[in-house]
């Protein structure tokens, strides 16, 4: 009988790579489908958005490869520096380098490139939270360690919310910090309690809004929440996007109208290639297609879980957990917004929504995950 | 190769557990998302799809062709001709200046009007309706982008003014406005169809998409009891009388007393149904705005049913009937007329101031003696008098199938004293419509059946199948048959020997009653002369009424209204196949 022995074999997660490539390709198809009408009208070139996204994705693949080649410990080593860079970039939005689009000042342009600091901030936060666990050593088991993570998250999230008025990115960043601290901190109860409180708050707000929308003297400050409860009542302004998305989703039915046959993308859903792209997926591919997309995301998350739980050390594990949190939160929030489960806030669907910066940094994260995966030691 | 971490930093089971815990949480959230998606896409799908379709579809309606109006013999009284509707679709216009210029020229509109509509950002804007087909064809031949020429129907009346106040006309959307056109609008109008085309958010029609088309359902043809020939002849007579007597209006109603079918209803002067917004006379001063609209409304009025008048002596038919029915008089009753009668403190004069002397009941009717009828009326008494007015339909609307029927203006029963009853007995101090009187007269002569006067007989589809036979209420035994027979005999005497002899035609048995009523206020020299005649007496097939409003010169009903009915009967009795029955 042959003796079992450990042998170091270079591991590579091909399933994850396949999922990434699939999502990129599918994203391109959907971006062409949703944006060609708007692009034709605005730029007289139906492939305008498609070409820009294609370019960003090629750049993203280069990024991913580079990140894959770099040992992930380096990121943690320079985490503090990258954290400061992220803060500086956010502040730069206010400088002449910053510029506005879609009615919000969220971008900075460097030469021909324009990037959204919020996307980089997500990455910087993952690094710094991981680094904090490393630094705290045994102390990370203490209750106070939670506050270190939350502090890191709150600073970046607060800056993004205050300076760029981007609530959704702030929520995602804070969410990533919470998930990393959850995995690092040994106990459960505090998180269960907080999650219970958040759930109760959502139910309370929802029932308050249901009451309030019945009375006529609705407060304008809460219109977004009122529109959440009854979007069709606010279909002309606050609820417009939501209602148009619901029309799209609802008219999809089980198998959809067929690829490219969405009517709602023809100017009814504003900027259909951005945050609301999932509604067009539903309209064109139906419940079946939308489920497939969710399953692919689920597959990706499962690969992250596999890599994180098999990572050679806690650093690698927490980096992957951060990426896991990022993708999971963003997918969940995007689909929840589009299906009107939560009030409307602009959140893009990873890999599929149009957006160069987003794809670039997402691909960098994928490179890091692949690098972590390559350190997995296989038993043969 | 990575260096080994210190033991405390290595991945422990608790970390793995936490990761799995987080993964399960996410999985649960995914399940919630899928449930919500399924709810929207399966259970709400129909609702949202319908709302979305509403948003995407542009509706262009296709008018249904309006049903025709036919006379009793199938002569078309109202029909349709093809006209065009010109509209513009803002998003498709390539050369707005050329569009504006050509539309101005062809449609005779001002630059300003057309420009406003062409430049308005709407999905479709109507420029002009009811454009002649030739003009529509010409505009279509320019092949202007963004200009749509839709064919459509316009109401057309082949005989212009024939029975104008009965038939009425339609508005710009082919909807009935007055007369039978509005009364039977639901039968005539049909259901409009529509073309649904898909558009993007800017209203541009999408190519290669299936057009959704709902075919229009044509309206029903409505057949009337009006006989074109009788109506035409009555109208000629009315116009002639109108001219000869320089009267304000002349109305003639010809009806079948057995079932209430109206064969003709004339209100001269009539107006041109093809140009209903032009006055049928030259106003003395330039009239605009509301005043002009008031004149039009007056012109469209059907005086036979929309206006009331004091009937005068023709109403004695009702008094006589009530008197006979209640047994207050018999044919042998006698009355001596000294030329007046004193009721309470009033002295009411007879038309013949010297008095009629001694008369039996029949002669009081033949002479139309007011003092005698005061006597008969007082003998009947207030209760019975109102009872019989009720039975003969005087106190209610006739229920004729035309809109806007006027109500009776009558004393309150509790306020009727001797004087009021006296004046009512010879047809004064209250007002009814001519149609109400003719209906009561029909019941008196047809054996006692109160009919509902009407025009519409049936509605039929384009293939000529009868879809609906209109039915009308009748009340039998309003009065006794014997009373009816007695009344017919008396009324025949009125024509053969009494005040109605100008309606006499040799060989025919004709009954009737004249009336000359003063218009209020009394003594203003304005009169309404009228005559009701029917034939043949044995089995009346036709009852006709002629009312001349404000004749100039001779104003006695027996002198001017009776001859009109005679001339009418001379022509229509043979036409209706009523043979001469009396040996001369």
Handedness of CA A234, A235, A241, A244 (dihedral sign): positive
For residues B525-537, give the mean pLDDT: 93
Q: What are phi and psi of B449, to 5 degrees?
A: -100, 125
- Asked whether residue B530 is domain-assigned, the answer is yes
| 3-class state of residue B386 by DSSP | helix
- Asked whether residue B344 is domain-assigned, the answer is yes
Rounded Cα–Cα distance for residues B37 and A341 (Å):
10
Contact A317 B198 (CB under 8 A): no
Domain identity same for B494 and B346: yes
- Asked whether residue B282 is domain-assigned, the answer is no
Q: Establish if A248 touches chain B: CB-CB under 8 angstroms.
A: yes
Contact B2 A183 (CB under 8 A): no
Domain identity same for B214 and B326: no
Question: Is there a cis peptide before residue A8, judged by omega within 30 degrees of 0?
Answer: no
B91 CB-near residues (< 8 Å, 6+ apart): B123, B146, B202, B203, B204
What pLDDT shows up at residue A240?
84
Q: Establish if A287 touches chain B: CB-CB under 8 angstroms.
A: yes
What pLDDT shows up at residue B8?
45
Domain count, chain B: 2
What is the CATH classification number for the domain harbouring B456?
3.40.710.10
From the list B9, B18, B201, the residue facing A267 with the nearest CB is B201
Q: Establish if A315 touches chain B: CB-CB under 8 angstroms.
A: yes
Which residue of chain B has the CA closest to A328?
B26
Contact A309 B202 (CB under 8 A): no
Q: Establish if B213 touches chain A: CB-CB under 8 angstroms.
A: no
Is beta strand B357-360 parallel, antiparallel or unpaired with respect to B456-460?
unpaired
b/e string for B386-401 if b means 16 or more Cβ within 10 A?
bbbbebbbbbebbbbb
pLDDT tens-digit map of B499-520: 888 999 988 999 999 999 888 8
Rounded Cα–Cα distance for residues B180 and B223 (Å):
11
Round to the nearest angstrom and report the end-to-end CA distance of chain A: 15
Contact A332 B26 (CB under 8 A): yes
From the list A183, A311, A332, the residue facing B22 with the nearest CB is A183
Chain B residues whose CB is inside 8 A of the A314 CB are: 5, 9-11, 15
Say what the alpha-carbon torsion angle B561, B564, B566, B570 is, to the nearest 10 degrees: -170
Domain identity same for B439 and B331: yes
Model confidence band, residue B584 (pLDDT cutoffs 50, 70, 90): low
Among A152-161, B113-122, B352-361, where is mean pLDDT lowest? B113-122
Domain identity same for B216 and B328: no
Residue recorded with tokens 């009947």: B380
What pLDDT shows up at residue B64?
82
Q: In chain A, positions 140-169, which contact chain B (CB-CB < 8 Å)?
A: none
Rounded to 10°, the helix B316-326/B434-445 angle is 40
CB–CB contacts below 8 A, A to B: 137
Rounded Cα–Cα distance for residues A275 and B570 (Å):
88
Round to the nearest angstrom and report the end-to-end CA distance of chain B: 141
Q: Give the residue from B197, B224, B251 where a domain finishes.
A: B224
What pLDDT shows up at residue B385?
94
Domain identity same for B416 and B519: yes
Contact A314 B15 (CB under 8 A): yes
Contact indicator for B339, B353 with CB cutoff of 8 Å: yes
Q: Establish if A328 touches chain B: CB-CB under 8 angstroms.
A: yes
The H or E element spanning position B348 is: strand B346-349
Residue B251's closest CA among B269, B225, B233?
Answer: B269
- Asked whether residue B521 is domain-assigned, the answer is yes
Contact A252 B14 (CB under 8 A): no
Domain identity same for B339 and B211: no
- Asked whether residue B468 is domain-assigned, the answer is yes
Is beta strand B125-132 parallel, antiparallel or unpaired with respect to B212-214?
unpaired
For residue B437 the two structure tokens come to: 């009187």
* Other Cβ atoms within 10 Å of A223 Cβ, number: 15
| 3-class state of residue A232 by DSSP | helix
Domain identity same for B456 and B352: yes
pLDDT at B232 over 80: yes
> How far is Cα of residue B102 from the mean position of the Cα atoms in its chain?
41
Q: In chain B, positions 19-78, which contact chain A (CB-CB < 8 Å)?
A: 19-23, 26-27, 29-30, 32-34, 36-38, 40-42, 44-45, 47-49, 51-53, 55-56
From the list A37, A184, A252, the residue facing B41 with the nearest CB is A252
Give the residue ranges of DSSP H helices in chain A: 14-43, 48-69, 73-77, 79-92, 117-136, 144-164, 167-184, 189-212, 223-229, 240-252, 277-310, 314-338, 356-374
Rounded Cα–Cα distance for residues A348 and A355 (Å):
8
What pLDDT shows up at residue B45?
87
Chain B residues whose CB is inside 8 A of the A299 CB are: none
Domain identity same for B208 and B326: no
What is the CATH classification number for the domain harbouring B136?
3.90.1310.10
Domain boundaries, position B346: 312-575
For residue B18 the two structure tokens come to: 């936490």
Q: A23 exposed, middle or buried (CB, 10 Å; 0-12, 13-18, 19+)? A: buried
Chain A residues whose CB is inside 8 A of the B17 CB are: none
Domain identity same for B199 and B343: no
pLDDT tens-digit map of B233-262: 999 999 999 999 999 999 999 999 999 999
B326 CB-near residues (< 8 Å, 6+ apart): B380, B381, B384, B388
Model confidence band, residue B116 (pLDDT cutoffs 50, 70, 90): confident
- Catalytic residue numbers of B read 313
What pLDDT shows up at residue B200?
78
From the list B11, B26, B52, the residue facing A264 with the nearest CB is B52
| 3-class state of residue B44 by DSSP | coil
Categorise residue B5: left if φ over 0, alpha if ψ from -120 to 50, beta otherwise.
beta
Chain B residues whose CB is inside 8 A of the A375 CB are: 2
Q: Establish if B121 touches chain A: CB-CB under 8 angstroms.
A: no
What is the DSSP secondary structure assignment for residue B173, as one 8-state letter? T
Q: Could you please report the per-residue DSSP string of B6-35?
A: PGGGS--HHHHHHHHHHHHHHHHHHHHHHH
What pLDDT shows up at residue B10?
55
Rounded Cα–Cα distance for residues A202 and A336 (Å):
13
* Other Cβ atoms within 10 Å of A222 Cβ, number: 16
For residue A122 the two structure tokens come to: 């997500």
Contact indicator for B413, B337 with CB cutoff of 8 Å: no
Q: Give the residue from B195, B224, B253 where a domain finishes.
A: B224
Categorise residue B355: left if φ over 0, alpha if ψ from -120 to 50, beta otherwise.
left
> According to the 3-state scheme, what is the secondary structure of B110-125?
CHHHHHHHHHCCCCCE
Among B205-219, B372-386, B558-572, where is mean pLDDT lowest? B205-219
Rounded Cα–Cα distance for residues A231 and B521 (Å):
69
| 3-class state of residue B222 by DSSP | strand
Q: Establish if A135 touches chain B: CB-CB under 8 angstroms.
A: no
pLDDT tens-digit map of B128-158: 887 888 888 888 888 888 888 887 778 889 9
What pLDDT shows up at residue B27?
94
What is the DSSP secondary structure assignment for residue B205, as one 8-state letter? B
What is the DSSP secondary structure assignment for residue B450, as one 8-state letter? B
Q: B358 exposed, middle or buried (CB, 10 Å; 0-12, 13-18, 19+)? A: exposed
What pLDDT shows up at residue A1?
43
Residue B543's closest CA among B470, B480, B487, B482?
Answer: B487
For residue A11 the two structure tokens come to: 């591991």
For residues B423-435, give the mean pLDDT: 94
What pLDDT shows up at residue A5?
52
From the list A247, A321, A324, the residue facing B55 with the nearest CB is A247
Q: B257 exposed, middle or buried (CB, 10 Å; 0-12, 13-18, 19+)? A: buried
What is the DSSP secondary structure assignment for residue B40, as one 8-state letter? I
Q: Establish if B7 touches chain A: CB-CB under 8 angstroms.
A: no
Contact A287 B38 (CB under 8 A): yes
For residue B183 the two structure tokens come to: 């009364």
What pLDDT shows up at residue A319?
94
pLDDT tens-digit map of B382-398: 999 999 999 999 999 99
Rounded Cα–Cα distance for residues B436 and B389 (Å):
11
From the list B14, B32, B40, the residue facing A250 with the nearest CB is B40
A114 CB-near residues (< 8 Å, 6+ apart): A99, A107, A108, A356, A357
Is beta strand B193-198 parallel, antiparallel or unpaired with respect to B212-214?
antiparallel
Which residue of chain B has the CA closest to A9?
B1
Model confidence band, residue B11 (pLDDT cutoffs 50, 70, 90): low
Contact B10 A314 (CB under 8 A): yes
> How far is Cα of residue B44 from the mean position of the Cα atoms in its chain?
48
Contact indicator for A242, A344 with CB cutoff of 8 Å: yes
B214 CB-near residues (< 8 Å, 6+ apart): B193, B194, B195, B196
For residue B478 the two structure tokens come to: 């309003």
Domain identity same for B433 and B546: yes
For residue B169 the two structure tokens come to: 């006309």
- Asked whether residue B148 is domain-assigned, the answer is yes
Handedness of CA B149, B151, B155, B157 (dihedral sign): positive
R_g over Cα of chain A = 22
Segments of chain A scoring below 70 in pLDDT: 1-9, 102-103, 213-222, 378-380
Contact indicator for B367, B499 with CB cutoff of 8 Å: yes
Residue recorded with tokens 């009408």: A37
Q: Give the residue from B180, B203, B224 where a domain finishes.
A: B224
What pLDDT shows up at residue A205?
86
Residue A304's closest CA among A368, A349, A378?
Answer: A368
Which residue of chain A has the CA closest to B9?
A314
For residue B228 the two structure tokens come to: 């074109």
- Asked whether residue B39 is domain-assigned, the answer is no
């Amino acid at each position: 009988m042959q003796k079992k022995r450990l042998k170091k074999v270079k591991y590579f997660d091909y399933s994850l790579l396949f999922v990434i490539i699939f999502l990129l390709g599918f994203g391109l198809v959907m971006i062409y489908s949703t944006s060609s009408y708007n692009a034709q009208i605005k730029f007289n070139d139906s492939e305008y958005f498609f070409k820009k996204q294609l370019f960003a994705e090629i750049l993203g693949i280069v990024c991913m490869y580079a990140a894959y080649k770099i040992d992930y410990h380096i990121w943690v080593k320079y985490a503090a520096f990258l954290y400061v860079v992220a803060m500086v970039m956010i502040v730069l939005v206010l400088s002449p380098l910053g510029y506005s689009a879609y009615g919000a000042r969220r971008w900075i342009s460097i030469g021909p490139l324009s990037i959204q600091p919020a996307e980089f901030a997500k990455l910087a936060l993952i690094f710094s939270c991981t680094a904090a666990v490393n630094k705290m050593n045994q102390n990370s088991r203490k209750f106070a360690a939670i506050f270190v993570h939350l502090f890191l998250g709150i600073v970046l999230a607060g800056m993004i919310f205050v300076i760029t008025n981007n609530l959704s990115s702030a929520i995602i960043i804070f969410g990533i910090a919470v998930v990393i601290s959850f995995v690092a901190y040994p106990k459960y109860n505090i998180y269960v309690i907080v999650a219970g409180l958040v759930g109760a708050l959502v139910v309370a707000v929802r029932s308050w809004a249901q009451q309030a929308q019945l009375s006529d003297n609705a407060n304008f400050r809460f219109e977004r929440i009122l529109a959440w409860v009854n979007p069709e009542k606010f279909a002309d302004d606050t609820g417009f996007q939501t209602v148009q998305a619901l029309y799209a989703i609802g008219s999809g039915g089980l198998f959809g109208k067929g690829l490219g046959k969405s009517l709602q993308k023809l100017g009814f859903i504003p900027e259909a290639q951005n945050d609301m792209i999932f509604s067009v997926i539903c309209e064109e591919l139906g419940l079946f297609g939308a489920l497939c997309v969710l399953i692919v995301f689920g597959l990706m998350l499962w690969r992250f879980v596999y890599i994180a739980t098999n990572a050679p050390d806690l650093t690698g594990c927490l980096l992957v957990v951060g990426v896991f949190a990022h993708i999971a939160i963003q997918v969940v929030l995007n689909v929840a917004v589009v299906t009107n489960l939560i009030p409307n806030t602009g959140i893009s669907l990873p890999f599929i929504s149009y957006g160069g910066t987003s794809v670039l940094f997402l691909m960098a994260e994928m490179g890091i995950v692949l690098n972590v995966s390559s350190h997995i030691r296989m038993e043969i | 190769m990575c260096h080994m971490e210190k033991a405390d930093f290595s991945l422990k089971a608790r970390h793995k557990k936490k990761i799995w815990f987080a993964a399960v949480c996410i999985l649960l959230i995914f399940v919630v998302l899928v449930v919500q998606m399924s709810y929207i896409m399966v259970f709400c799908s129909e609702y949202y799809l319908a709302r979305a379709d509403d948003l995407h579809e542009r509706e262009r309606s296709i008018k249904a062709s309006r049903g025709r109006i036919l006379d009793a013999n199938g002569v078309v009284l109202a029909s349709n001709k093809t006209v065009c509707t010109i509209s513009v679709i803002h998003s498709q216009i390539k050369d707005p200046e050329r569009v504006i210029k050509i539309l101005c020229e062809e449609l005779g509109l001002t630059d300003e009007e057309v420009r406003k509509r062409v430049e308005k950002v709407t999905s479709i804007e109507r420029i002009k309706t009811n454009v002649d087909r030739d003009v529509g064809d010409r505009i279509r031949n320019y092949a202007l982008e963004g200009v749509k020429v839709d064919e459509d129907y316009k109401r057309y009346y082949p005989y212009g003014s024939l029975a104008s106040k009965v038939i009425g006309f339609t508005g710009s959307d082919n909807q009935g406005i007055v007369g039978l056109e509005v009364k039977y609008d639901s039968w005539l109008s049909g259901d409009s169809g529509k073309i649904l085309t898909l558009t993007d958010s800017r209203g541009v029609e999408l190519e290669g998409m299936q057009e959704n088309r709902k075919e229009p359902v044509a309206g029903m043809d409505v057949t009337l009891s009006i006989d074109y020939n009788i109506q035409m002849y009555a109208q000629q007579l009315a116009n002639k009388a109108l001219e000869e007597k320089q009267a304000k209006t002349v109305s003639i109603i010809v009806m079948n007393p057995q079932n209430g079918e109206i064969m003709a209803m004339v209100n001269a002067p009539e107006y041109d149904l093809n140009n209903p917004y032009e006055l049928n006379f030259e106003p003395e001063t330039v009239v605009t705005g509301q005043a002009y609209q008031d004149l039009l409304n007056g012109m469209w009025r059907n005086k036979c049913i929309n206006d009331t008048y004091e009937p005068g002596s023709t109403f004695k038919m009702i008094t006589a009937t009530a008197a006979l029915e209640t047994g207050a008089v018999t044919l042998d009753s006698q009355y001596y007329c000294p030329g007046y009668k004193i009721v309470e403190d009033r002295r009411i004069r007879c038309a013949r101031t010297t008095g009629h002397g001694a008369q039996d009941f029949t002669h009081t009717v033949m002479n139309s003696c007011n003092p005698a009828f005061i006597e008969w009326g007082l003998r009947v008494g207030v209760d019975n008098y109102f009872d019989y007015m009720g039975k003969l339909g005087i106190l209610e609307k006739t229920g004729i199938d035309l809109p806007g029927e006027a109500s009776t203006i009558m004393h309150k029963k509790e306020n009727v004293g001797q004087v009021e009853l006296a004046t009512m007995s010879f047809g004064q101090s209250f007002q009814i419509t001519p149609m109400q009187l003719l209906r009561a007269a029909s019941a008196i002569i047809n054996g006692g059946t109160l009919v509902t006067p009407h025009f519409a007989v049936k509605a039929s589809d384009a293939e000529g199948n009868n879809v609906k036979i209109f039915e009308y209420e009748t009340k039998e035994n309003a009065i006794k048959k014997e009373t009816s027979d007695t009344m017919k005999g008396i009324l025949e005497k009125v024509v053969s020997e009494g005040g109605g002899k100008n309606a006499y035609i040799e060989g025919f048995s004709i009954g009737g009653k004249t009336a000359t009523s003063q218009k209020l206020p009394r003594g203003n020299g304005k009169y309404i002369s009228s005559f009701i005649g029917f034939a043949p007496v044995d089995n009346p097939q036709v009852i006709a009424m002629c009312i001349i409003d404000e004749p100039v010169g001779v104003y006695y009903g027996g002198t001017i209204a009776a001859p009109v009915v005679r001339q009418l009967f001379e022509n229509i009795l043979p036409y209706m196949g009523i043979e001469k029955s009396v040996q001369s």
